[in-house]
Structure 1
Amino acid sequence: MQSKKIFVAALIWFSCNLAHAGDAIRIGMIEGMSGAFANAGEAVARNLQFAIATVNARGGVSLPDGRHPLALEIFDNKQAVEESLMEFKRLTDKRIAFMAQGNSSAIASALVEAVDKHNQRTPDNRVLFLNYSAVDPALTNEKCSYWHFRFDAHADMRMHALTEVIKGDKRAKRIYLIGQDYSFGRLVAQTARTQLAAKRHDIAIVGDELHPIGKVKDFAPYIAKIKASGADTVITGNWGNDLTLLVKAAKEFGLNVKFYTFYGNSLGAPAAIGDAGVDRVRAVAEWHPNAGAGVKESPSDRFYQGFLQRYPQARDDYVLLRMHVMIEMLAAAIEKAGTTDAHAVAKALEGASYHNAFHDATMRAADHQLIQPLYVSVMRKKATDGLRFDNEGSGYGFKTELYLPAANTALPTSCRMRRTPH
Structure 2
Amino acid sequence: MKIQGKNILACVLLCACTVAQAAEPIRIGMIDGMSGAFANAGEAVVRNLQVAIDKVNARGGVKLPDGAHPLALEIFDNKLGVEESLLEFKRLTDQRIPFIVQGNSSAVAAALLDAVNKHNQRLPNNRVLFLNYSAVDPALTNEKCSYWHFRFDANADMRMNALTEVIKRDNRAHRIYLIGQDYSFGRLVAQAARTQLAAKRPDIQIVGDELHPIGKIKDFAPYIAKIKASGADAVITGNWGNDLTLLVKAAKEFGLNTKFYTFYGNGLGAPAAIGDAGVDRVRAVAEWHPNVGDGAKDGASDRFYHAFRERYPQPKDDYVHLRMHLMIEMLVTAIEKAKSTDALAVAKALEGAHYQNAFHEATMHAADHQLIQPLYVSVMRKKSDGGMRFDNEGSGYGFKTELYLPAARTALPTSCKMQRPLR
Shared fold by TM > 0.5? yes
The equivalent residue for 1:125 is: 126
Q: TM-score, normalised by structure 2?
A: 0.95
The equivalent residue for 1:204 is: 205
The equivalent residue for 1:270 is: 271
2:61 pairs with 1:63 = no
Uncovered stretches (5+) of structure 1, i.e. residues with no partner: 1-14
2:113 pairs with 1:104 = no
Q: CA shift at 1:420, angstroms?
A: 0.9
- In structure 2, the residue corresponding to 1:380 is in which secondary structure? strand
Structure 1's consecutive aligned runs of 4 or more residues displaced over 4 angstroms after TM superposition are 15-21, 294-297
- In structure 2, the residue corresponding to 1:171 is in which secondary structure? coil
1:27 touches 1:72 (CA, 8 Å); kept in 2? yes
1:292 touches 1:301 (CA, 8 Å); kept in 2? no
The equivalent residue for 2:92 is: 91
- In structure 2, the residue corresponding to 1:415 is in which secondary structure? coil
Distance 2:194 2:225 in 1: 22
1:292 touches 1:299 (CA, 8 Å); kept in 2? no
The equivalent residue for 2:12 is: none
The equivalent residue for 2:114 is: 113
The equivalent residue for 1:148 is: 149
Distance 1:276 1:75 in 2: 38
Q: CA shift at 1:293, angstroms?
A: 2.3
Equivalent position amino acid for 1:370 in 2: L
Uncovered stretches (5+) of structure 2, i.e. residues with no partner: 1-15
Distance 1:301 1:58 in 2: 21
Q: Residues 55, 46 of structure 1: CA spacing in aligned structure 2 closer, same or farther, 3 A cutoff? A: same
Q: CA shift at 1:18, angstroms?
A: 7.0
Equivalent position amino acid for 1:182 in 2: Y
The equivalent residue for 2:347 is: 346
Give 1:10-409 correspondences, 5 Å limit: 19=20, 21-295=22-296, 298-409=299-410
Distance 1:218 1:133 in 2: 26
Q: Residues 171, 16 of structure 1: CA spacing in aligned structure 2 closer, same or farther, 3 A cutoff? A: farther
Question: How many pairs align?
Answer: 408
Distance 2:37 2:286 in 1: 23
The equivalent residue for 2:9 is: none
Deviations 1:61-102 (A, max 9, x none): 000000001010000000000000000000000000000000
Comparing 380-389 and 168-177, the one that deviates more: 380-389
- RMSD of equivalent CA atoms: 1.3
- In structure 2, the residue corresponding to 1:301 is in which secondary structure? helix
2:33 touches 2:79 (CA, 8 Å); kept in 1? yes
Equivalent position amino acid for 1:144 in 2: C
Equivalent position amino acid for 2:346 in 1: V
The equivalent residue for 1:411 is: 412
Deviations 1:280-329 (A, max 9, x none): 00000000000132559611000000100110111000000000000000
Distance 1:43 1:285 in 2: 15
- In structure 1, the residue corresponding to 2:288 is in which secondary structure? coil
Q: CA shift at 1:17, angstroms?
A: 11
Distance 2:143 2:17 in 1: 50
- In structure 2, the residue corresponding to 1:293 is in which secondary structure? coil
Q: CA shift at 1:201, angstroms?
A: 1.3
Distance 2:340 2:20 in 1: 21
Deviations 1:209-231 (A, max 9, x none): 00000000000000000000000
Q: CA shift at 1:386, angstroms?
A: 2.1
